[in-house]
Amino acid sequence: MRNHTSITEFILLGIPNTEGLENVLFVLFLAFCLITLLGNLLIFLTILASSNLHTPMCFFLGNLSAFDIFFPSVSSPKMMRCLMGQSCVISYRGCASQLFFYHTLGGTECFLYTVMAYDRFVAICHPLRYTVIMSRRVCIVLTLSTWLGGCLQGSVLVFLVFKLPYCGPHEVDSFFCDIPVVLPLACADTSLAQTVSFTNVGVVTLTCLFLILTSYSRIIFSILKISSSEGRRRAFATCSAHLTSILLFYGPVMLIYLRPASSPWLDSVIQVLNNIVTPSLNPLIYTLRNKDVKLALRKILCGLLLISKRR
């Protein structure tokens, strides 16, 4: 990549129209990052420690929690340093790394939500065969496939974007490096990179969304056939948390990558919601909606309180 470029660094301009709010934004983003880290780590450890949560659904939820721990770390450290008044310069390789990890983790989450929808489909539409279909081996293979698929997506995108020559300007109109803000800085034809990135991000995302909607349409038909109102309520309760997370994930992605026109300020706000706010909400969504996780978490917290009192 070094042979194809005459610049060695980019300048991150941050979030537009936020001059004078750096201290407020720093405190706000730091709070969200700490909530994200503590909340998802607590969910992950709870699933590991509680034997009754060793189910396919909680296995995928644990992977989602691990993902949400890593995802904000892609853009947050550099953004926080910039808000503190330190250097907003990022190296060429650092910019490429941000784009790679952002789309690797984003693609992984996209595939993981699709797998979780399939898990709910099997659990509700084929309950008697659930343990056979969603065996431990199948869950591991599906999880590894999501991570490998995300890694492949990130690798393709970073190769296409950073094989182009960058001669200047080198100011990135955002708080981190992403395709919509880096690609316009290239001093060469970007049509191939734009086409492949749209296919890779847009088409893959829409395909996963279509599969999720297909699964949930089958789920809804199966739930409506349940004669007991309590049974229908419990079936809907097991899916509501997943559906809420899907809306929070796919909404920003489609607004950023599938809009015909872009607005730097709106894109930055949506990216902040997607990168920092949404990962902090997932633990709250799943603990409130999932009775088993809530009970296991309560037991662990009560145990920790008892240990602290004895000391």
Question: What is the pLDDT, as a whole number, of residue 112?
Answer: 92
The predicted-structure confidence for 49-79, as pLDDT tens digits, reads as follows 887 888 888 899 889 888 888 888 888 888 8
For the chain, what percent of residues have pLDDT higher than 90? 14
- The pTM score is 0.86
The predicted-structure confidence for 155-188, as pLDDT tens digits, reads as follows 998 998 888 888 877 888 888 888 888 888 888 8
Residue 206: pLDDT band by 50, 70, 90 thresholds? confident
Question: What is the pLDDT, as a whole number, of residue 276?
Answer: 84
Per-residue pLDDT, averaged over 194-219, amounts to 83
Count how many domains the chain has. 1
Per-residue pLDDT, averaged over 103-128, amounts to 90
Question: What is the pLDDT, as a whole number, of residue 239?
Answer: 75
Would you say 111 and 150 are in contact if contact means Cβ atoms under 8 Å apart?
Answer: yes
How far CA 98 is from CA of 111, 155, 213, 283, in Å, comes to 20, 12, 31, 25
Domain ranges, residue 158: 2-310
* Residue 298 to residue 283: CA distance in whole angstroms: 14
CATH number of domain containing 205: 1.20.1070.10
Residue 97: pLDDT band by 50, 70, 90 thresholds? very high
* Residue 76 to residue 272: CA distance in whole angstroms: 9
Residue 108: pLDDT band by 50, 70, 90 thresholds? very high
Residue by residue, DSSP assigns the chain as: -GGG-S--EEEE--STT-TT-HHHHHHHHHHHHHHHHHHHHHHHHHHHH-GGG-SHHHHHHHHHHHHHHHGGGGTHHHHHHHHTTS--EEEHHHHHHHHHHHHHHHHHHHHHHHHHHHHHHHHHHSGGGHHHHT-HHHHHHHHHHHHHHHHHHHHHHHHHHHTS---S--EESSSS--HHHHGGG-SS--HHHHHHHIIIIIIHHHHHHHHHHHHHHHHHHHHHT---HHHHHHHHHHHHHHHHHHHHHHHHHHHHHS-SS--HHHHHHHHHIIIIIHHHHHHHHHHHH-HHHHHHHHHHHHHHHHHHHH-
Question: What is the pLDDT, as a whole number, of residue 263?
Answer: 67
* Residue 72 to residue 37: CA distance in whole angstroms: 9
Question: What is the pLDDT, as a whole number, of residue 2?
Answer: 47
299, pLDDT greater than 80: no
The first and second tokens of residue 135, run together, are 């065996």
225, pLDDT greater than 90: no
267, pLDDT greater than 70: yes
Centroid of chain to Cα 75? 13
Per-residue pLDDT, averaged over 285-289, amounts to 69
Question: What is the pLDDT, as a whole number, of residue 5?
Answer: 47
Residue 147: pLDDT band by 50, 70, 90 thresholds? very high
